[in-house]
Amino acid sequence: MKIREEGTPQDRGCVVGISFFILGLGTLLPWNFFMTASLYFQARLNTTEYYNGTVVPGKEYHFNNWMTLLSQLPLLLFTLLNSFLYQRISEAVRIAGSLVFILLLFILTAVLVKVPMEEDRFFSVTMATIWFINSFSAVLQGSLFGLVGLLPLKYSAVFMSGQGLAGTFATVAMLLAIASDADSEAAALGYFITPCVGTLVTLCSYLLLPRLPFAQYYLKRSSNYEEETTDELLKDGRKMENGKLNGHANGSLSDNAAQPSSQTGEELVSSPESKQPFLSEEQVEKGQAKASVLEVFRKIWVMAFCVTFMFTVTLSVFPAVTVDVKTKFPGRWERFFISVCCFLIFNIFDWLGRTVTTWIHWPLKDSRLFPVLVISRVIFIPLLMLCNVQSRSYLPVLFPNDAAFAVIMAVFSLSSGYFVCLSMSYAPQMVDPKDAETAGALMTFFLALGLSIGAAVSFPLRSLV
């Protein structure tokens, strides 16, 4: 064991860690850039008209709800598909191919900024883009979770930390666009060019991994794990078989031939030699084969439930409800209020929650307190619905102050990032190393399931406000 540790390459300059941080950031760029740009899309879909001096309300598109739903449904479907078919398609095709298509779709979105289009058609094209870009993101995310699960635990936390920073990255880009003196069209174009560059950097980071000795060591070791251990056990089995046959032949020609056996049937059964197991090639292959998806799920179902519930709570109110919170201070601050108090605060504290798991792992994965704390986050749903969400029909406003909304959002997002990262990191530890990739892919499916349920629940919750 000591020799193996000494022979392990080092992650010099933390290049592998930085690469996985960028890869984590790249997986959530599509979702965050479309979500943060909700004000831009709503402005283009504003069909308010004036007829004889009277304001005539246009068609209500419910952009935030549909964007959330059509982002998460393909994420769920394609993550499920990736969980079962990832062994049939090479990792390079799944990851690099997905990044290329995401890049092309971002370029299309940037081009559409300059293309005049009727509202219904623009809405349809945007929703189709959101659907396809998140389909490729699902394959990308599931594949990368499986890949990072092959490395030491801290790299899962680094990867999740990168995902947490994606939202901050998108929000800062939006704030810069709003603060710029450029017209709205030029600002939107610059905003959507940013994820094009980010996706290209993500692709380069992935292509760099096979050239890094530290990454090569773990990825190659995992790919050869089953083959090497099977060969070793088959070799031991053959030695055992030969030893038993030789021992039986020698005994029959010497001692057994010279004198009658004094051992009873019971003694023969309990003899040390009879207790040595003989492994056939079929048994060895069966023992070293990867566990089925159902067998892996039985070991990680608690973590799967936790990540599903976490994202159900989060997506049920963010951004569908929180984006409609209004400030009590109209004026220039009103232009920045949602970008700062909704998106920036959420993404910064979500990233902090994910990052702190690099040093803190509490509660432990076997603790019953873990799912209890996860379920307790449901309290944030009524808290955020009682903020100054406009327009509203049923519920009163109990937290009209901007600061109250900001504090609730901070705790809401901090707890989300922390428990999601722990759940995703714990799951691969609960299975054998050969099943870590399957566990990572399964957890990504349940992550997407939680997002989809939350997106669907956001429709009735918004109507109840």
Share above pLDDT 90 across residues of the chain, in percent, rounded to a whole number: 39
**What's residue 244's pLDDT?**
45
Provide the token pair at 444.
Answer: 């990504």
DSSP 35-102: HHTHHHHHHHT---EEETTEEE------HHHHHHHHHHHHHHHHHHHHHHHTTTS-HHHHHHHHHHHH
Question: Would you state the torsion angle of the CA atoms of residues 66, 71, 73, 78, taken in this order, to the nearest 10 degrees?
Answer: 160
Mean pLDDT of 57-79: 80
- Report, as an integer, the average pLDDT of 134-144: 87
pLDDT of 247 above 70: no
User: For the chain, how big is the Rg over CA atoms in Å?
Assistant: 28
Mapped to the 3 state alphabet, what secondary structure does 67-84 carry? HHHHHHHHHHHHHHHHHH
10 or 283, higher pLDDT: 10
**Single-letter code of the amino acid located at 225:** Y
pLDDT at residue 458 greater than cutoff 80 = yes
Question: Is the pLDDT reported for residue 251 higher than 50?
Answer: no
Tokens of 322: 């929180």
What's the average model confidence in pLDDT over 93-101?
92
Residue 364 tokens read as 């432990």
pTM value? Answer: 0.71
Give me the pLDDT at residue 235, please: 53
Q: How far is the C-alpha of 23 from the C-alpha of 141, rounded, in Å?
A: 9
Picking from 294, 108, 101, the residue whose alpha carbon sits closest to that of residue 199 is 101
pLDDT over 80 (residue 456): yes
Residue 351: exposure state from Cβ atoms within 10 A (0-12, 13-18, ≥19):
buried
Write out pLDDT tens, residues 150-200.
Answer: 888 788 888 988 887 888 888 998 888 888 877 778 888 889 999 999 999
Q: Across residues 422-443, what is the average pLDDT?
A: 87
Query: What is the band of 1 on the pLDDT scale with cuts at 50, 70, 90?
Result: very low
**pLDDT at 390 > cutoff 80:** yes
pLDDT at residue 317, rounded to an integer: 95
pLDDT score, position 56: 53
% residues pLDDT > 70 (the chain): 80
**So what's the pLDDT on residue 41?**
87
pLDDT digits (tens, 9 = 90+) for 193-223: 999 999 999 999 999 998 888 888 887 765 5
* Domains, the chain: 11-215+290-464 (1.20.1250.20)
Among 78, 129, 177, smallest CA distance to 445 is for 78
Q: Higher model confidence: residue 254 or residue 291?
A: 291
316-369 pLDDT, tens digit per residue, is 999 889 999 999 998 889 889 999 999 999 989 988 998 888 888 999 999 999
Q: What is the pLDDT of residues 304-331, one digit of tens each?
A: 999 999 999 999 999 889 999 999 998 8
Concatenate the DSSP letters of all residues of 108-126 into one string.
HHHHHTTS---HHHHHHHH
